[in-house]
Amino acid sequence: CIGNTLVHLLDKSEIEKTLMGFWTVLKPGGKMIVQILNYDMIINEKPDHLPLIENEAVKFERNYYYEHPHIRFEATLTNKIAHKEPVTSETRLLPLKKSELNELLMRIGFRDVKYYSGFNFETFHENKLPLIVVAKK
């Protein structure tokens, strides 16, 4: 479950049901990988935007508006090759803290839970934006 998708669910019970669904389909010893943003850092620092993603083909702007308990996420994608008008959309996110995620994983029965700050298995650091969790059934 990558791409910060888990936090598009709007309450912890929905997140727990989803994690339970992952648990159900895993074989014993199977691993689940979840990638979200480090919402502990985001809640503490309250940035109004995330780093710009841009290359020769696209420009992706991400803005945050804090509306407790959610964050309104506004994204604008510009296709630089097609030269069309930028497309903007918005959605609400549930800022899930690491401790909250860990509590849900433990309650469901996941074990050997490990946290990282990147897909290169960089040790988790509280001041880095990515949060990757690998948990075993």
Report whether pLDDT(135) > 90: yes
* Chain mean position to CA 23: 19
pLDDT of amino acid 110: 98
Report whether pLDDT(94) > 90: yes
Structure tokens that stand for 35 in this block:
């990638």
Structure tokens that stand for 102 in this block:
């860990």
Q: How confident is the model at residue 83 (pLDDT cuts 50, 70, 90)?
A: confident
- Residue 15, phi then psi, degrees to nearest 5: -65, -45
pLDDT of amino acid 106: 98
- The tens digit of pLDDT for each residue in 24-75 reads 999 999 999 999 999 999 999 999 999 999 999 999 999 999 999 999 999 9
Taking CA atoms, 88 is separated from 26, 28, 31, 61, 76, in Å, by 36, 42, 35, 9, 4
